[in-house]
A and B are shown apart, each in its own frame.
Chain A
Amino acid sequence: MEAVTTHDHAHGHDEHAHHPAGIMRWITTTNHKDIGTLYLIFSLTMFFIGGLLAMGIRAELFQPGLQYWRPEFFNQLTTMHGLIMVFGAIMPAFVGFANWQIPMMIGAPDMAFARMNNWSFWLLPPAALLLVSSFFVPGGAPAAGWTIYAPLSTQMGPDMDLGIFALHIMGASSIMGSINIVTTILNMRAPGMTLMKMPLFVWTWLITAYLLIAVMPVLAGAITMVLTDRHFGTNFFNAAGGGDPVMFQHIFWFFGHPEVYIMILPAFGIVSQVIPAFARKPLFGYASMVYATSSIAILSFIVWAHHMFATGMPAAGQLFFMYATMLIAVPTGVKVFNWIATMWKGSMTFETPMLFACGFIFVFTIGGFTGLILAIAPVDIQAQDTYYVVAHFHYVLVAGSLFAIFAGTYFWLPKWTGHMYDEALGKWHFWLSIIFFNITFFPMHFLGLAGMPRRVPDYALQFADFNMIASIGALGFGLSQLLFVACVIKCAKGGAAAPAKPWEGADTLEWTLPSPAPYHSFETPPVVK
């Protein structure tokens, strides 16, 4: 099988007119590029729905007292904002990147199971519909927080059932997507591409996909227990029947902690592609990056109870989870230092993808440090459920995952559309995003340390100033994202023609294809030396 001759893979045999046109093309497509596009459009849509809910939250918190919403509806806003952003925006966006990029980066013609790929995407819109429609059932949308803790979730109205079914469907979609990704990476690499020659984005997705396969079923189990507790008389979390609500937290966070790495590891992968390309140097410490990613994934299974320090764990348990959590700072630090070492003495230029990648390192590291502070059990008991936690996870999730998604989008847009994006517009998007992001979330550190609890629509008067600043920042951040949409639409419609390799320092296989990438690529695998 190794005796494949060198092959000119840039031959322009593209655009067979085999596939149906119009809407049926998208519904019936089994092409990894089409499905990747669908995922990305879906996640962008959900990103704006979730963002709209965030605007609702910040509008209410602009001033103390109750202005716009009843407290029950405010709880629905926070819950749905979390669920939609996690399961509707961030995760599908990364799957979209995986679909577009992984086959092109490893020299495969398509994903391993093309039809299953179609199905795993088309499960998402009905699930999202189910989730969003819960706003319209009696009692409104789920309001137990995105963590749907029992006993709240076992006692809520029919909205919770819709939420649970939506999560089940999204989970099934994730598991199928992950199986597809693992199989593609393990079995369909071009000859000569050993595991340790894979681009780091592919490595991080391989590990992420394993994490997803391991923990999404655990979430499915947990919410099935909630469902049977609600309707079928089981007592998993019902204290009266011998169950224990704290157990829900254990099972949930056994899923939930790996889940947060599921949302950041592909981001690490994107940044590890972008930084070498714009520093014009190969990635520093490739092997250590792979090992660091794997260690983070393995450690993620033994730290879940650091989310539960306030539930009254024995001191030995608190110490274990505290030290295990701090241990994660080591491989994460390895990554951050490797990125900086990659930039060291590189001939750097700062196009929009590089700006977002540098912004990512800067802001994600702040979020990492606040995470380290929260890992200290006695501090966490003080800061538990305050705005300090909100600031922390928005620093890693918005400035981490989301900024990496932006970096990746700008990086690969020329390959996807065949046009260069508008650099000036992209830079505006970056600078406005990072400034407004910090205006929104930096004051939340102070609010949290001063004791403002999260998920509450009203607050004491001394928190008013910082909340007003945060709300103004949030509005600015939200509006800045319209620039992103404008930039993407403009790029999709036209613009300067992109060369096959628009970034001088980029060296992975997708840049050997013409831009836009042909509908079918690498039907004969390239040979990697």
Chain B
Amino acid sequence: MNVAYPNLITLRKLLVISCVMFGFGYALVPFYKKICEVTGINNVVKADTVENTQVDAARFVTIEFDSNVRGNLPWTFRPLQVQMRIHPGELNTVMYEIGNPTNHAITAQAIPSYGPQLAARYFRKLECFCFTQQTLAPGAVKQMPVVFVIDRELPQDVNTITLSYSFFEIEGSAKKDG
């Protein structure tokens, strides 16, 4: 019997394991997304629902609005209002404006973030331009609302929340559309 034969079988098995583990690395990607979805982490760009709309009129919270464009995205982007003073539980609307001063259409995606980070899960967005990608024709200007409710469970020591959006260009959209 060829002595090397059992070695070749072991070699084959171990090669299969390493290929499977290479695939496993990629399988972690959808797995990770699913975990985030199930546990509700990271659902920043999905619409929230609000059941209890009782307003806590005894309490004021200041909401500050911030806007950024990232990388080489040549857009203008600003909130029409820098801050507002609201009650938890109240339904509020703030307008943001984006403009595309270039001569070609560009698609971009906004990602929200919150300060303090803790406030994120009490900030319920019912409507937001960040739920979808935005495409602007050359020279277009667009005003977009964000409708939100601050959960009444917001910890007492949080009196100011900053809502900050960053617009990221979707790679290749300028070439494709322009």
Q: Of B17, B25, B36, B42, which contacts A222 at CB under 8 A?
A: B25
Contact of A113 among B11, B26, B29, B111 (CB under 8 A): B11
Which of A183, A221, A241, A314 contacts B7 (CB under 8 A)?
A: A183
- Smallest distance from the beta carbon of A381 to chain B beta carbons, Å? 12
Known contacts A213-B18, A314-B39; is A113 also within 8 Å of B171 by CB?
no
Does any Cβ of B come within 8 Å of A449's Cβ? no
Residues of A near B15 (CB, < 8 A) are 179
Restricting to B50-74, which residues have a CB under 8 Å from any CB of A?
70
Inter-chain contacts of A179 with B (CB < 8 A): 10-11, 14-15, 18
Indicate whether A312 reaches chain B with its CB closer than 8 angstroms. yes
Evaluate contact between B10 and A241: CB separation under 8 angstroms: no
Q: Does A247 contact B (CB under 8 A)?
A: yes
Nearest A-chain residue to B24, judged by Cβ = A218
Contact partner, A216, options B18, B32, B41, B168, Cβ 8 Å: B18
What residues of B have a CB within 8 angstroms of the CB of A312 in the complex?
117
Given A183-B14, A187-B7, A314-B41, A244 and B22 touching (CB < 8 A)? no
Is A220 positioned at the interface, with any CB of B under 8 Å from its CB?
Answer: yes
Main secondary structure of the interface of B (DSSP, over half): helix
Within the assembled complex, what's the spacing in Å between the Cα atoms of A137 and B18? 33
- Closest beta carbon of chain B to A110's beta carbon, Å: 11
Judged by a CB distance under 8 angstroms, whether A125 is at the interface is no
The answer to whether A213 and B7 touch across the interface, beta carbons within 8 angstroms, is: no
- CB < 8 Å: which of A214, A218, A220, A239 contacts B168? A239
Interface membership of chain A positions 52-80, coded 1 if the CB is closer than 8 angstroms to chain B and 0 otherwise: 00000000000000000000000000000
- In the complex, whether A129 has a CB less than 8 A from a CB of chain B is no
A233 near B: Cβ within 8 Å?
yes
- Find out whether the CB atom of A247 lies under 8 angstroms from the CB atom of B22: no
Residue contact A220 to B28, C-beta cutoff 8 Å? no
**Is B17 in contact with A213, judged by CB distance below 8 angstroms?**
yes
Would you give the 0/1 interface string for A230-273, flagging 1 where the beta carbon is closer than 8 Å to chain B? 00010110111110100100110011000000000000000000
A218-B25, A241-B171 are known contacts. Are A183 and B70 too (CB-CB below 8 A)? Answer: no
Using A240-B168, A241-B170 as known contacts, say yes or no to A214 and B21 having CB atoms under 8 A apart: yes
Given A240-B169, A250-B32, check contact A183 B11 (CB 8 Å).
Answer: yes
Q: How far is the CB of B43 from chain A (nearest CB, A)?
A: 12
User: What's the nearest-Cβ distance from chain A to residue B106, in Å?
Assistant: 12
Find out whether the CB atom of B28 lies under 8 angstroms from the CB atom of A250: yes
Contact B18 A247 (CB under 8 A): no
CA gap between A244 and B10 in the complex, in Å: 38
Is A374 part of the contact surface with B, judged by Cβ < 8 Å? no
- Judge whether B108 is part of the interface by a CB distance below 8 angstroms: yes
For B169, list chain A residues within 8 Å (CB).
240
Least distance between A181 CB and chain B CB atoms (Å): 10
Proximity bits, A315-357, B CB within 8 Å = 1, else 0: 0000000000000000000000000000000000000000000
Q: What does the 1/0 interface line of B29-46 toward A look like (CB < 8 Å)?
A: 100100010010110000
**CB proximity of B1 to chain A, nearest CB, Å:** 10
Q: Which of A185-199 contact B (CB under 8 A)?
A: 186-188
Give the docked Cα–Cα distance between A244 and B33 (Å): 9
Q: Which residue of A lies closest to B45 (CB)?
A: A242
Q: Kindly list chain B residues whose C-beta atoms are within 8 Å of the C-beta of A214.
A: 17, 21
Q: State whether the Cβ of B155 lies closer than 8 Å to any Cβ in chain A.
A: no
Which of A113, A178, A218 has the most B CB atoms < 10 Å from its CB? Answer: A218
The answer to whether B32 and A217 touch across the interface, beta carbons within 8 angstroms, is no
A217 near B108: Cβ-Cβ < 8 Å: no
Is A215 positioned at the interface, with any CB of B under 8 Å from its CB?
yes
Q: Which residues of B contact A289 (CB under 8 A)?
A: none
Residue of A at shortest CB range from B70?
Answer: A240
Min CB gap B151→A, angstroms: 17
Kindly provide the distance from the CB of B22 to the nearest chain A CB, expressed in whole angstroms.
Answer: 4
Nearest chain B CB to A236's CB is how many angstroms away?
A: 6
**Cβ-defined contact, B25 with A182, below 8 A:** no
Q: Is A112 an interface residue (CB 8 A)?
A: yes
Residues of A within 8 A of B25 (CB): 217-222, 225, 251, 254-255
State the Cβ distance, A281 to closest chain B Cβ, in Å.
35
Q: Given A218-B22, A239-B111, A241-B170 in contact, is the A183-B10 Cβ separation under 8 Å?
A: yes
CA distance A213 to B14 in the complex (A): 7
A175 at the B interface (CB under 8 A): yes
Q: Known contacts A183-B7, A217-B21, A233-B171: does B109 contact A240 (CB below 8 Å)?
A: yes
In the assembled complex, how far is the CB of residue B145 from the closest CB belonging to chain A, in whole angstroms?
Answer: 22
Chain A residues in 8 Å Cβ range of B26 = 221, 225
Give Cα A368 to B134, complex, Å: 51
Task: State whether B7 touches A113 (Cβ < 8 A).
Answer: yes
CB distance from A241 to the nearest CB of B (A): 7
Determine the distance from Cα of A455 to Cα of B106 in the docked complex, in whole angstroms: 38
**B14 touching A236, Cβ below 8 Å:** no
CA–CA, A383 to B23, complex, Å? 34
Kindly identify which residue among A216, A239, A251 contacts B28, using a CB–CB cutoff of 8 Å.
A251
- Contact: B171 with A220, CB < 8 Å? no
Q: Which residues of A contact B (CB under 8 A)?
A: 112-113, 175, 178-179, 182-183, 186-188, 213-222, 225, 233, 235-236, 238-242, 244, 247, 250-251, 254-255, 312, 314
Apart from the given pairs A217-B21, A221-B25, A242-B109, 20 other A-B contacts in the complex at a CB distance below 8 Å: A112-B7, A112-B11, A113-B7, A175-B18, A179-B10, A183-B10, A217-B19, A221-B23, A225-B29, A239-B111, A240-B70, A240-B169, A241-B168, A241-B170, A244-B36, A250-B28, A251-B28, A251-B29, A254-B25, A314-B41
Q: 27 interchain pairs (CB within 8 A)? A: A112-B11, A113-B11, A179-B11, A182-B14, A183-B10, A183-B14, A187-B10, A213-B14, A213-B17, A217-B19, A217-B22, A217-B24, A218-B24, A220-B25, A222-B25, A225-B25, A238-B171, A239-B168, A240-B111, A240-B168, A240-B170, A240-B171, A241-B171, A247-B29, A247-B32, A250-B28, A254-B28
The 8 closest A-B pairs by CB, nearest first: A221-B25, A240-B168, A217-B22, A217-B21, A218-B25, A183-B10, A179-B14, A112-B7
